[in-house]
């Protein structure tokens, strides 16, 4: 098989990159380890930055998003019973929208199928060859048969555990990682959201987040121990603990129900540099991971897609290689700012097990400063809605 850009990974970043390239007349093949049904069953992020929404429209797949998304002009931040709002539109002139990653992925698959673009599922034993030469290729197995794709470039959109990052020689990679001493226990329930904006809540008992997917589908999280398992938490225990961590104004009106999905995610910050080796380009979780605090994970990946797509387009349309030559530096500059925001917001609202009384007083002072200072709220809002590309 021959293509111009081989994309490893059929998640949102790989699919959006493929759809943008298709619109520019650039041929792609997407390789996905799982089945399509499995990819669409994953419960992931739901907050989209303005830039991510613009990229979906640029790819021609923003119609359903625009119709069904929920616009959020701000968020609520709490510490104990104290609460305040940060108005994104007033502070930064932009907003975010709530639209589940599953739905975004569904839209992208639909567009790819409509375009008759090639997507291969249930792929095994992917290997990358010649990434540091002018003739790269990708080999894989499907249904017990071995295949090879010859290509001009390879986009590694295959996540933290994928083959792409590991293909870059270890001596050329520099990896930075911070593991957090807690996780998030998340519950999805068919109940109305407790509030029409997200609620980020810090408390002496730990962090909680009240989010949503639509008018009758809510997503809630509480900070938990890394040793916990989802089965350790009954629905009743989860709801009771959530109520203890949010202001009574919201706890009193919280509608509870049977969880339809329950999982625990450990938190980590991770960056691998560089994001390019020869004709191999890393994108999204293959190169960087953030804690979910602040909704930067999916959106950071879409920033990578913006830089990589424009680099490929400039090269194929006019022979200008500056875009791909500058890809790693430009993407990483934005990634590190997103890492900083997620790290700082996580530190602002979570209870760390080794915090001293001094540390807790500093945390309370940080929250109070954000509540009282308009400049601090502007900085928070500009980061939350997404820094410019």
Size of the chain, expressed as the number of residues it contains: 389
Helix (H, G, I), strand (E, B) or coil at 177: strand
Would you say 188 and 213 are in contact if contact means Cβ atoms under 8 Å apart?
yes
Beta bridge pairs of residue 202: 79
Kindly name the residue from 72, 195, 288, 306 that is annotated as catalytic: 72
Tokens 């792409």, located at residue:
164
Whether 193 is a known active-site residue: answer: no
Tokens of 193: 């959201």
E-strand stretches of 144-258: 145-150, 153-156, 174-189, 199-202, 208-214, 217-224
Exactly one of 109, 140, 200, 221 is catalytic; which is it? 200
Q: Is 250 a catalytic residue?
A: no
Q: Catalytic pick from 180, 292, 307, 350? A: 292
What's the number of CA atoms in the CB half-sphere (13 Å) around residue 172?
11
Fill in the DSSP letter of residue 328. Answer: H
Q: Which residues of 178-193 are buried (b: 16+ CB within 10 A; e: fewer)?
A: eebebbbbbbbbebbb
Tell me if residue 220 is catalytic: no
Annotated active-site residue 72? The verdict is: yes
Contact 155, 283 (CB under 8 A): yes
Write down the catalytic residue from 22, 288, 296, 330.
296
Inter-residue contact 60 to 111 (CB < 8 Å): yes
Catalytic residues: 72, 200, 292, 296, 384
């Amino acid at each position: 098989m021959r293509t111009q850009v081989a994309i490893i990974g059929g998640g949102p970043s790989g699919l959006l990159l493929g759809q943008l390239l298709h619109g520019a007349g650039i041929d792609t093949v997407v390789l996905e380890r799982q089945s399509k049904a499995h990819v669409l069953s994953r419960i992931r992020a739901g907050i989209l930055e303005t830039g991510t929404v613009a990229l979906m429209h640029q790819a021609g797949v923003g119609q359903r998003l625009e119709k069904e998304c929920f616009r959020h002009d701000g968020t609520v931040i709490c510490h104990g019973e104290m609460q305040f709002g940060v108005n994104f539109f007033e502070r930064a002139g932009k907003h975010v929208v709530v639209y589940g990653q599953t739905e975004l992925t569904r839209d992208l698959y639909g567009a790819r199928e409509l375009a008759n673009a090639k997507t291969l599922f249930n792929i095994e034993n992917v290997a990358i060859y010649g990434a540091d030469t002018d003739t790269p290729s990708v080999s894989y197995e499907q249904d017990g048969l071995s295949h090879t794709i010859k290509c001009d470039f390879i986009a590694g959109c295959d996540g933290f555990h994928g083959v792409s990052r590991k293909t870059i020689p270890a001596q050329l990679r520099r990896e930075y990682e911070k593991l957090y001493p807690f996780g998030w226990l998340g519950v999805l329930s068919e109940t109305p959201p407790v509030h029409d904006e997200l609620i980020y809540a810090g408390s002496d008992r730990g962090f909680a987040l009240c989010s949503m997917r639509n008018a009758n589908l809510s997503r809630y999280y509480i900070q938990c121990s890394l040793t916990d398992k989802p089965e350790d938490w009954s629905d009743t225990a989860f709801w009771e603990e959530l109520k203890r961590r949010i202001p009574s104004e919201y706890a009193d009106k919280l509608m509870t129900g049977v969880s339809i999905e329950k999982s625990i995610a450990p938190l980590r910050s991770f960056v691998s540099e560089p994001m390019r080796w020869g004709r191999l380009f890393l994108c999204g979780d293959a190169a960087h991971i953030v804690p979910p605090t602040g909704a930067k994970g999916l959106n950071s990946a879409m920033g990578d897609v913006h830089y990589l797509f424009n680099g490929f387009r400039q090269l194929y349309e006019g022979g200008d290689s500056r875009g791909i030559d500058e890809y790693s530096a430009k993407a990483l500059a934005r990634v590190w700012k997103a890492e900083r925001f997620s790290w700082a917001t996580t530190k602002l609202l979570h209870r760390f097990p080794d915090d001293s009384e001094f540390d807790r007083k500093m945390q309370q002072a940080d929250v109070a400063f954000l509540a009282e200072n308009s400049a601090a709220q502007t900085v928070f809002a500009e980061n939350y809605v997404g820094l410019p590309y």
